[in-house]
Structure 1
Amino acid sequence: MGPKSDPETLALRSELEELYKTIQEAQQKCADVTMDSACNEVASITPIKFLTKKLMKGHLNKVNSVHYSGDGRHCVTGSLDGKLIIWDTYTGNKVQIIPLRSAWVMSVAFAPSGNFVACGGMDNMCTIYDLNNRDGSGVAKMARELAGYDGFLSSCRFLDDKRIITGSGDMKICQWDLETGRKTSDVVAHNGDVVSISLSTDFNSFVTGSVDKSCMLWDVRDMQPKQTFFGHAADVNSVCFHPNGYAFATGSEDKTARLFDIRADQQIAQYSPPSGKSGFTSCGLSLSGRIILCGSDDNNVHMWDTLKTTHTGTLSGHENRVTSVSVSPTGMAITTCSWDQNVRVWG
């Protein structure tokens, strides 16, 4: 009998499920109004027609992750072809191609300054590249290899050029000092793989999503969890902090996207695709927070009005699962990547 099926573990798991239910019932008693009814008087938004402004080809295998630089112009993508590509999204041109030691890339991150990119995956490592420091062949030099994980690297985000936060398959959140290459925090965060990290606009807080179906709010300054959010019925594949700093969006394997309010300490809205059959791999919010966008395994990006909870459109063009969505910090464009090996800029 395995450790997961012994009577004591099963009893504890059952007790935990009951506690979750009790918490959710208590939350629902406090939920005196729904998002739909509260926003009855709010005017509906005019559906926005997004078009593919740039179709960026260059990867030779599935593209798993995309992230914008702070300038809103450049982005980095990581693919199973063992390459990172830095793109100029205005022209669609490649700025740099960085060959990796491991092809199993699951996550990429661009430093807000645009000076560094990070990546990691099944190599159980987070690798940092300095884009301003190139070797003889013109390729960005590796600045750091952050090792010491007992699981794959699923997510990473720069706080600045000297600090990065990582989430991994060993259920941990770590903060690293990039000048010394040492961990400054190492916390068991969830009861399953940490799969997504999103930073608040002031960089003082971040949210994590996990395969344990929950999300957690953290304070960067002490790296301690402040709140836990339940509701999803399957893996939370993606989290995105709301620009106002008081809420965050999620995309899940349970075929829903949701909006959680930090002050209300609970879910305040739920969004479902028209077909009801699409699991969500990634999510993003517009600069105003009025539109939520979710990349899906039905090859599309779905959009909803966050206040009215109505489905407002679909971005169609990719020919396979959309793996990652990144909204430009300027709010002017969205970049998506897919298992179809392509990267698209929408505007």
Structure 2
Amino acid sequence: MDSTTEGEHIEKLEKEAESLKIRLEDERKKLNDVTLCEVADRLQAINCINVKPRRVLKGHQAKVLCSDWSPDKRHIVSSSQDGKMIIWDAFTTNKEHAVTMPTTWVMACAYAPTGALVACGGLDNKVTVYPLSLEDDVTTRKKTVGTHTSYMSCCAFPNSDQQILTGSGDSTCALWDVESGQLLQNFHGHSGDVMSIDLAPSETGNTFVSGSCDKMILIWDMRSGQCVQSFEGHDSDVNSVSN
């Protein structure tokens, strides 16, 4: 098969795939007995909720890209495009720690379940863990746990301080051992940048969900490294997922 014939064959297959997608969408619509707008019209109007800010935390010099609450429900960690990670006391609005990273765009941060550690990463491709102590400079005890081949976009601790889960622009998610830095599991399945991950709310904590620039949402088993469910329906990047 010469290049011209091969190109025509590929173009034909692409048209067939697009036609099948349209037919599939039409069949799905036939199963819908009512539209969302029709359902909404039947509901009573909900009174406006008056939401007021309780505290304003000021200190970053650029966009805040990520934040996470501590398990003690008092402290917050935030990361920013200014290259800083800040630990806040949400009651007093004081900064308890301010860490300057070796790169700008600190895209991800997370508290460990005990509140004794925080993790962060970004354009440096690394996930770095910081033990927290009011007496010590946290930067002196930092540890680089793992490294991706592209930027780190998100991170989360499973149900212990011993492991951390990361998502990256290299299209993978990874599970790392915090103490040794060993890669415990790699999760391959996305064809675009992984933008968000979230752990399933269970005692075992063996399942998580990921969203990607490939428009897909995947659910993973951390023990096997396998994708156990996938969802397709967005027309563009999936920037955030939550359980």
> Aligning the two structures, in what range does the TM-score lie when normalised by the shorter sequence?
0.7 to 0.9
Count of aligned pairs = 234
2:3 counterpart residue number = none
Within 5 Å, which residues of 2 pair with 1:1-347? 7=7, 21=22, 24-25=25-26, 27-32=28-33, 34=35, 44-132=45-133, 135=136, 138-139=137-138, 141-159=140-158, 160-202=160-202, 203-241=205-243
SS of the residue 2:239 aligns to: strand
Distance in 1 between residues matched to 2:120 and 2:207, nearest whole Å: 21
Gaps in structure 1 of 5+ consecutive residues: 1-5, 242-347
TM-score w.r.t. the length of structure 1 is 0.59
Q: Is the 8 A contact 1:132 1:140 kept in 2?
A: no
How far is the alpha carbon of 1:20 from its aligned partner? 5.1
Shift of 1:168: 0.4
Higher helix content, 1 or 2: 2
* Structure 2 portions without partners, runs of 5+: 1-5
1:114–1:43 distance in 2 versus 1, CA, 3 Å = farther
Give the Cα separation in 1 of the matches to 2:198 and 2:121. 16
Q: Alpha carbons of 1:24 and 1:179: their partners in 2 closer, same or farther (altered >3 Å)?
A: farther
Answer 1 or 2: higher relative contact order, Cα 8 Å, separation at least 6: 1
Partner SS for 1:56: coil
2:54 maps to amino acid: K
For 1:105 and 1:83, the matched residues in 2 are separated by 7
Work out whether residues 176 and 183 of structure 2, in 8 Å CA contact, stay in contact via their aligned partners in 1.
yes
The sequence identity of aligned pairs, in percent, is: 39
Deviation at 1:200, TM superposition (A): 2.1
Q: Deviations over 1:103-141 (max 9, x none)?
A: 331111112321111111111111111114864xx3354
Alpha-carbon separation, structure 1, partners of 2:142 and 2:69:
20
Name the larger-Rg structure.
2
More strand by share: 1
Deviation at 1:94, TM superposition (A): 1.3
Distance change in 2, residues 1:22/1:50 (3 Å): same
Q: Residues 147 and 139 of structure 1: is their aligned pair in 2 closer, same or farther, counting only changes over 3 Å?
A: closer
Mapped to 2, the partners of 1:152 and 1:215 lie a distance apart of 19
Q: Which moved more, 1:178-187 or 1:68-77?
A: 68-77
Question: Could you tell me the TM-score, scaled by structure 2's length?
Answer: 0.82
CA contact (8 A) 2:146 2:181 kept: no
